[in-house]
Amino acid sequence: MAPTGRPVYGLCVHGLDEVEELAPAGSRPGWPSVRIRQTTAAPPPSAPLDLDGGVRVLADGRTLTVDRRRGTATFYGPPLAPDLLAHPYLAPVATVFNRWAGRETFHSGAFVHAGRAWAVVGPRTAGKSSLLAALAARDVPVVADDILVVDHTEVHAGPRCVDLREPVPGPALPTRTVRAGDRLRVALPPIAERTPLGGWLFLGWGPTPAVTPVPPAELLARLAGCRSWRGLPTDPAALLGLAALPAWDLTRPRDWAAFGPTLRLVERTLTAARAVAASR
């Protein structure tokens, strides 16, 4: 029987019925299933993650246990509100279970251009969410905000939201306050569950909007370094395939006024890349 559950990050997730940012439950043949639970019981001692499970102490003091055989992820500590379960607490669960399924996961967002997903990679201060929200405000489909699950040549959609520390300029985006008042959440419309991956954008700051191609050898090293749960085994051929995709460093000023020129530069770059690919 095909696994059922609420589809997100390439998983069939159970136990999150109150989380509005997930798609309705349904059958997804071949997708791993996980049941998410919460308890205020005393947590087990920390244990390294391996191919069967593990116990991890989170940054806020909660403990997360993951069990591959049982298909469970359990949070120990004060109960988490539905908005927190959607983001950020679903991310570590999805990361582990996808790595167990042989998929790659990266701390990255992604958006769709010309039918392909383009990954947006960078540290937490690089402005990934702001860029994705600005794209969403212009009706550009957003695949994910927090982690990117790569399954062969496709990426899986994340929760239908982007979380911001402050509003982005441009077209008005309806938001609601979440995460105990710490973030503004932008709701995203439904999107295809899987989208072919087109390439990579690595965010940085600079005096003017600019793109610089990343050579494949350097891209391979970067992707290997930003994989999630690097202690788990991976398929070297999969990383080689991902490193064959086009990639650029995208720099722009820390200035809201630069958003328009930055988005136009991204549009021109990706349109040109698609034209080159189509001519081969």
- What is the tens place of the pLDDT at every residue in 101-150? 999 999 999 999 999 999 999 988 899 999 999 999 999 999 999 899 99
Last residue of a domain, one of 69, 103, 137: 103
- Tell me the per-residue pLDDT of 179-204, one tens digit each, with 9 for 90 and over: 989 999 999 999 999 999 999 999 99
Query: Does residue 26 sit in the same domain as residue 97?
Result: yes
Q: What is the DSSP letter of 257?
A: G
Query: Does residue 143 sit in the same domain as residue 254?
Result: yes
Q: How confident is the model at residue 57 (pLDDT cuts 50, 70, 90)?
A: very high
pLDDT (0 to 100) of residue 194: 97
Query: Does residue 63 sit in the same domain as residue 22?
Result: yes
pLDDT (0 to 100) of residue 123: 86
Instruction: Examine the pLDDT at 1 and tell me if it is beyond 60.
Output: no
| Residue 186: its H or E element | strand 183-187
Quick check: 268 and 211 in contact, CB under 8 A?
no
Instruction: Examine the pLDDT at 67 and tell me if it is beyond 60.
Output: yes
Last residue of a domain, one of 103, 137, 166: 103
- Domain, as residue range, for 136: 106-279
Query: Does residue 88 sit in the same domain as residue 124?
Result: no
CATH number of the domain that 268 lies in?
Answer: 3.40.50
Query: Does residue 81 sit in the same domain as residue 58?
Result: yes
Q: How confident is the model at residue 233 (pLDDT cuts 50, 70, 90)?
A: confident
Percentage above 90 pLDDT, the chain:
81
pTM, entire model: 0.95
Query: Does residue 253 sit in the same domain as residue 124?
Result: yes
pLDDT (0 to 100) of residue 227: 86
Beta bridge partners of 65: 55, 74
Instruction: Examine the pLDDT at 174 and tell me if it is beyond 90.
Output: no
Query: Does residue 199 sit in the same domain as residue 80?
Result: no
Count of alpha carbons within 13 angstroms of residue 121, beta-carbon side: 24
Of 20, 18, 12, which Cα lies nearest the Cα of 38? Answer: 18
Instruction: Examine the pLDDT at 272 and tell me if it is beyond 80.
Output: yes
Query: Does residue 237 sit in the same domain as residue 116?
Result: yes
Last residue of a domain, one of 45, 75, 103: 103
If one counts the domains in the chain, the total is 2
Query: Does residue 124 sit in the same domain as residue 251?
Result: yes
Query: Does residue 82 sit in the same domain as residue 153?
Result: no
Query: Does residue 155 sit in the same domain as residue 138?
Result: yes
At residue 256, the 3 state secondary structure works out as helix
| Residue 118: its H or E element | strand 116-121
Query: Does residue 153 sit in the same domain as residue 239?
Result: yes
pLDDT (0 to 100) of residue 20: 95
